[in-house]
Structure formats: structure tokens, C-alpha cells
Amino acid sequence: MSIGGFITLGILAVVLIYVIAIYNNLVTLKHAVAKAWSNIDVLLKQRHDELPKLVEVCKQYMKFEQETLEKVMLARSSVSSARERGDVGALGQAETQLRLGLGNLFAVAEAYPDLKANENFQHLQHRISGLENAIADRREFYNESVNVNNVRIEQFPDVIIARLFNFGPKPLLEFSEEEKKDVDIKALFG
């Protein structure tokens, strides 16, 4: 084999190693997104299990607030359905409704001193609030993982390998603007 053949073979080996490195990095990013999603999923399941307990405790005290309790349970069902389908867009919308419902529930609970003093209510309120904070943290990590993945599959030369092996963009987990608004306490008691 001539020197030109060795050079060609060397160049091909370097290109192949580079392609393999890009592919492996894209696989790592894809799995980082999946891991970040599964971390959110675990917390959503935990909260899903806690909400009926909270509603049951509230039902004992909040006889006239059935609509608030029903909204929380309906939103819980929507979150569960979107989570099981892996529909990030629908999950973001359902999460918004659930968070608004929980905010309303906790605000309305202020009018029931016996409920606020109930140990089970306090425990569940703290547990759910803690889960909400953990979900927010995990959501931030998930969105960062998605962003890194989505940027990487658009950069050259990674875009070539990404298209060749069907690495696609992942959706961000976003909540609507409604969630960012303050709860109108007066409207809840009016």
C-alpha cells in the first residue's frame, strides 16, 4: 500500500472516529432529556397520590367549596392523562390549571380556621408545596437539558449526524401566563 493509501485510510479513520464521537454525544443528550423527564414524572406521581388525601381532608370542612375541590381533582386527572401520554404541551396546560386550583384551594382554606389548624391539612399542604417546589426545580433542569439537546442537533456538523440518525428536537415544559398571575383573594371570597 502506498503512502497516499495510508493517508486516505488515516483520514477516513479520523472522520469515522469524529462521527462516532458526535453520535455518542447526541445519544448522551437524548438520554439526559429522558432522565430529566423521568425525574419530573416521579414527582408528578407523588403529588398525584397526595392530592386526593388533601381534598378529602378539605371536604370535611369546606362544605360550600365543592367547585374549588372539583377543579383541583379535574386538573389532577388532566395532569395524569398528559403525563401518561408523555404529552409535554398538554402537561404544561394541565399543570397550569392544577397550580391555579391549588392556589385557590389554599387561599379559600384561609377562611376555615379549623381546617388550617388540622394536622393532616398542614402536613399535606407542606408536602404538596414541597413537591411543587421540587417540580419547579426539575422543570428547570428538564428545560435546560432540552435546550442543550435542541441547540446541539442544529449545530454544524452535528446537524448532519442528527438528521442521519433521526435525533429530533424535544419540547420545553412551559406553563401558561395564567400561572404567573397572583391569586385574586377578594374574588375567591366575594
Confidence of residue 168 (pLDDT cuts 50, 70, 90): very high
Among 14-23, 60-69, 112-121, 166-175, top mean pLDDT goes to: 14-23
CATH topology of domain 35-155+170-189: de novo design (two linked rop proteins) (1.20.1440)
| DSSP H or E stretch at residue 39 | helix 3-59
Q: Is 11 exposed, middle or buried (0-12, 13-18, 19+ CB in 10 A)?
A: exposed
Quickly tell me which residue has 449545530 as its cell. Answer: 155
* Mean pLDDT within 80-96: 88
Q: Which amino acid, residue 163?
A: R
**Alpha helices for 60-171 (secondary structure H):** 66-85, 88-109, 113-117, 119-152, 158-164
Confidence of residue 183 (pLDDT cuts 50, 70, 90): very low
Q: Which of helix, strand or coil describes residue 151? A: helix
Q: What are 126-152's pLDDT values in tens digits?
A: 999 899 899 989 999 999 999 999 999
Alpha-carbon dihedral of residues 104, 105, 111, 112, nearest 10 degrees? 180
Cell of 21: 464521537
Work out the end-to-end distance of the chain between its first and last CA atoms, rounded to an integer number of angstroms.
Answer: 90
* Mean pLDDT within 150-163: 95
The domain limits of the chain are: 35-155+170-189
The pLDDT of residue 119 is: 87
